[in-house]
């Protein structure tokens, strides 16, 4: 068995007329994330980390934004397809730690549901998944509320 670490990152611009989806949770807010799929930066960062831990490239290679098949897809749908393509019996997630960077809105009331969604989609106990939110202290594009980013680190164990 082999243990590997993967790091994922995603960022999207905040825009009007889109829902704000993070970890599969629709967070009440006047702006949402612009993206080819649902713009869920948390789930996208997690997917990127898993793909990276297995040495299989990145989320853009799996789900290119030039492919109309992925337009509007939810983070859950992308997780399911990732599992199918990677072979869910080939590895197990030992630990996932993710950080959402958002000046607004306050995300604390939604973190538990985000954790539970990710755990369910990844087939692990929620105790192996940690999600937290940080502001950007008013600095740069994230601090000016122009976008939201997420970083994820995952520890996986290959079964083969």
How do residues 37-51 score in pLDDT, each as one tens digit?
999 999 999 999 999
> In sequence order, what are the residues at sequence separation of 6 or more whose Cβ sits closer than 8 angstroms to the Cβ of residue 109?
none
* Residue-range domain boundaries for the chain: 2-158
Residue 86 is predicted with a pLDDT of: 87
**pLDDT exceeds 70 at position 132:** yes
Using pLDDT thresholds of 50, 70 and 90, give the confidence band for residue 1. Answer: low
- For residue 142, what are the CA distances in angstroms to 3, 72, 112, 150? 33, 23, 23, 11
Closest CA to 26 of 98, 132, 150, 110: 110
**pLDDT exceeds 90 at position 159:** no
What's the CATH fold of domain 2-158?
Answer: 60s Ribosomal Protein L30; Chain: A; (3.30.1330)
| b/e per residue 108-131 (b: at least 16 CB within 10 A) | eebbeebbbbbbebbebeeebbbb
| Entry pTM | 0.95
**DSSP H or E run through 48:** helix 41-53
Q: What is the pLDDT of residues 8-17, one digit of tens each?
A: 999 999 999 9
The gap between the terminal CA atoms of the chain, to the nearest Å, is 6
**pLDDT exceeds 80 at position 144:** yes
Q: What is the pLDDT of residues 49-98, one digit of tens each?
A: 999 999 999 999 999 989 999 998 999 999 989 988 888 668 899 999 99
């Amino acid at each position: 068995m082999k243990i590997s670490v993967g790091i994922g990152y995603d960022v999207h611009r905040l825009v009007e007329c889109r829902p704000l989806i993070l970890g599969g949770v629709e967070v009440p807010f006047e702006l949402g994330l612009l993206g080819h799929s649902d713009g869920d930066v948390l789930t996208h960062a997690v997917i990127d980390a898993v793909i990276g831990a297995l040495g299989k490239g990145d989320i853009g290679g799996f789900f290119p934004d030039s492919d109309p098949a992925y337009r509007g897809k939810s983070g859950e749908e992308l997780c399911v397809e990732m599992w199918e393509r990677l072979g869910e019996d080939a590895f197990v997630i030992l630990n996932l730690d993710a950080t959402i960077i958002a000046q607004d809105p306050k995300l604390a009331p939604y973190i538990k549901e985000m954790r539970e969604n990710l755990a369910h989609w990844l087939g692990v106990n929620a105790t192996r998944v940690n999600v937290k939110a940080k502001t950007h202290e008013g600095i740069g594009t994230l601090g000016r509320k122009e976008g939201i980013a997420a970083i994820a680190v995952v520890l996986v164990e290959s079964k083969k």
